[in-house]
Chain A
Amino acid sequence: MTHAAAAPHTSMGLDNRKLAFWAFIGSECLLFGSLISTYLVYKGRSVVGPYPHDVLNIPFTSLSTFDLLMSSLMMVLALAAVQRGDMKWGKIWLFSTALLGTVFLGGQVIEFTDFVHKGLTLQTNLFGCTFFVLTGTHGAHVTVGVLWLFTLWVRALQGKLGPANAMTVEITGLYWHFVDVVWIVIFTVVYLIQ
């Protein structure tokens, strides 16, 4: 564990893992920017239904949004606990974050299944195509985040995660918060602005 404390730094004095991860997040901005652009460009151009107002369930998605926001809070609480060496609460918050991420994914599965039952699939119309690609890509990112969080939690249970590895938790948090901010945009652009 003490080896991890000697974090490698770049010539700028910054942690190289964090620098690389911010560059990765920058590239992800462009990925989601292109998917959101595609959704907006094709918005309102479906020639057959179902249309957004036929299928979108705002109260249900609002709960999913609340769930993801709370998971972001759990994530920063986990980081704060690990940084101060309080691994008991570090484990609890890490597990809570992963659990709330899993709940979000469950909600997305329910939503997608409901849409398919209402006749909206990837091939139905432009709305279905752009909606499923955008929210599906986001869901895939959440899935990766949940797996990452559970892995960290298991490592914490094994005693392999401590204050010396706080940067690992911080980088996981960066990914998780990015997934959250992407959802903030998707919730507004796709669900609320119909």
Chain B
Amino acid sequence: MEESNWEPKVVGFLCHWCSYAGADLSGSARLEYPHNIRIIRIPCSGRVDPLFILRALQNGVDGVLVSGCHPGDCHYQSGNFHARRKFAVIKRLLEYVGIEPERVQFSWVAASEGPKMAKVIGEFVEGVRRIGPNRLFKDDKKDGE
């Protein structure tokens, strides 16, 4: 029953200089994107530790989006290059252990790409909505509980 009213709750780690600014821009351009995303600002995509993603999923967040600057444009030179390597490995491991690939997404969005940011968030939330709520880390409920 709770599922018919279920709204995905998604967290986004956006890098301050590009993706966060991009989200800001889409806001000032009055472009709509779903309210389901809660944005956490980080200085650089390189700051993202895989623990953030795992812990978010463990605590029931339905999806995790990480977005940074395009490679070559990182405000801190190389943060996103290092992040890209980590992200590639995280993606492969999470899929291998059975976490739905739609729940974790990595994107590059620049500060000037307001429309792209809105699109990325919109599509991500829709993808999560399709696969349903995150029950991965829930203990099995027995009837009546």
A interacts with B: no
Taking Cβ atoms with an 8 Å cutoff, the residues of B that contact A are none
